[in-house]
Amino acid sequence: MNLDHLRTEIDTLDSEIVRLLNERINVVLKIGEEKKKSGAEIYVPSRERAVFEKIKSLNAGPLPDESMHAIYREIMSAALALETEMKIAYLGPEATFTHQAARNKFGVSVEYIPTGTIAEVFDKVQSRAADYGVVPIENSTEGAVTHTFDQFATTTLKICAEAYLPISLTLLSNKPKEAITLIFSKQEVFGQCRGWLGSNMPNVKLSPVESTTKAVQLAMETPGAAAIASVMASDMYEVDVLAENIQDMQGNTTRFLIIGQEYSAPTGCDKTSIVFGVKHRVGALYDALSVFKADNINMTKIESRPSRNKAWEYYFFVDIDGHVEQPEVKRALDELQEHCTLMTVLGSYPRAEI
């Protein structure tokens, strides 16, 4: 086959792909109308997971599964945007890692609302100024994001999905590396790059700021300055990448939660998150947690936070495997309730791949 023939073949395939994409969107829009009639949620994490798993099973290559996932992420994002004017609140500003996690989850076609605090994300979703919110909950090296846990202690919102984002830190500047005398970033980011900075830029001044996005903005307007931020910031602000993956610990990952009004239907591969308080007596926490062992339920996380109602009392946040609609999970939670002064299911949602 010559080049012209192959290009003609590509043109024919593109015509068919465009036709099928629009045909798929038309079916999605009909589904959206049915959802609106019944008052159902437009975004359905359990269905999203099923689509991704189906596409993966159908993919025979040579396109990698990750590329196919990215393509379908944007197909579904475009469909969501056509079904409704979907708004996603996130801990901003733009080009932060939370923004990147939100884009990875919902694609580029929906509207994003940056907020200044985690509390504002909850407020936007609670007031329905946003359909969903994206907040960080824990980092594999830095631990829990306590502000997020504190918001869950008082909200009626539910966790409907989760996402993991590998944290890759990048040195950005439009000046050459040897001309850099000042680097802006968050204090936590400097801590994660301490070894690399000591070996590669030992005499450069480090200036902490409130966000990696602010760091990039300052670096662009300050002579001899650079920023440590995400590669997404490089694309958004058109700043050159001077060095990639400069974090000391590879595999650093942040977990994010997607919050909304309802939690997800079961998929067969789910998590359930709860918050509870126990009576102030010897062995109360042990007795409460023992219900999970009795029903052979794996507990994947526990975090304590001080109660805002009384000094030296605590709430406990727990993640378990399974969905609240599974009989064994429902039974365990009913038994847990008997040991608690309060107990709330924060959400049941598809378990994300790390």
pLDDT digits (tens, 9 = 90+) for 19-43: 999 999 999 999 989 888 888 888 8
Q: At 309, is the pLDDT very low, low, confident or very high (cuts 50, 70, 90)?
A: low
Residue 19 per-residue DSSP state? H
Report the candidate in 340, 243, 236 with the shortest Cα–Cα distance to residue 285: 340
24/28 Cα distance (integer angstroms): 6
Residues 6+ apart with CB under 8 A from 46: 264, 265, 266, 267, 350
Secondary structure class of 50 (helix, strand, coil): helix
Secondary structure class of 155 (helix, strand, coil): coil
324/273 Cα distance (integer angstroms): 9
The answer as to whether 22 is a domain residue is no
Kindly state whether residues 136 and 191 are assigned to the same domain: no
pLDDT at 128: 94
Q: Residue with structure tokens 């909304």?
A: 260
The answer as to whether 185 is a domain residue is yes
Kindly state whether residues 208 and 135 are assigned to the same domain: no
Beta-carbon count within 10 A of 153 CB: 18
Kindly state whether residues 162 and 45 are assigned to the same domain: yes
pLDDT at 1: 65
Q: Residue with structure tokens 């000046």?
A: 175
Structure-block tokens of residue 326: 């599974």
Angle between helices 97-106 and 65-83 (to 10 degrees): 80
Q: At 236, is the pLDDT very low, low, confident or very high (cuts 50, 70, 90)?
A: confident
Q: What angle do CA 113, 118, 122 make, to 5 degrees?
A: 70
Mean pLDDT, residues 176-184 taken together: 94
pLDDT at 147: 87
Q: What is the mean pLDDT of the chain?
A: 91
CB-count exposure of residue 284 (10 Å: 0-12, 13-18, 19+): middle
Report pLDDT digits (tens) over 107-145: 999 999 999 899 999 999 999 999 999 999 998 877 888
27/308 Cα distance (integer angstroms): 48
Strands 132-139 and 87-91: parallel
Residue 43 and residue 86 in contact, taking contact as beta carbons nearer than 8 Å: yes
Q: Which residues of 254-271 are buried (b: 16+ CB within 10 A; e: fewer)?
A: bbbbbbbeebbbbbeebb
Secondary structure class of 309 (helix, strand, coil): coil
Mean pLDDT, residues 332-348 taken together: 92
pLDDT at 126: 95
333/291 Cα distance (integer angstroms): 8
Kindly state whether residues 96 and 203 are assigned to the same domain: no
Q: Which of 145, 166, 187 is the last residue of a domain?
A: 166
The answer as to whether 320 is a domain residue is yes
264/316 Cα distance (integer angstroms): 22
End-to-end Cα spacing for the chain: 43
Kindly state whether residues 174 and 199 are assigned to the same domain: yes
**Any bridge partners for residue 340, and if so which?**
278
Residue 177 domain boundaries: 170-249
User: Domain containing 284 — which CATH number?
Assistant: 3.30.70.260
Mean pLDDT, residues 310-328 taken together: 87
pTM: 0.87
Count: domains in the chain: 3
Kindly state whether residues 160 and 108 are assigned to the same domain: yes
Kindly state whether residues 177 and 197 are assigned to the same domain: yes
Mean pLDDT, residues 275-296 taken together: 88
Structure-block tokens of residue 341: 């002064």
Q: At 313, is the pLDDT very low, low, confident or very high (cuts 50, 70, 90)?
A: confident
Radius of gyration for the alpha carbons in the chain, expressed in angstroms and rounded: 23
What is the percentage of the chain residues whose pLDDT exceeds 70?
Answer: 98
Weakest-pLDDT range from 53-62, 292-301, 311-320, 326-335: 311-320
Residue 283, Ramachandran bin (φ over 0: left; ψ between -120 and 50: alpha; else beta): left
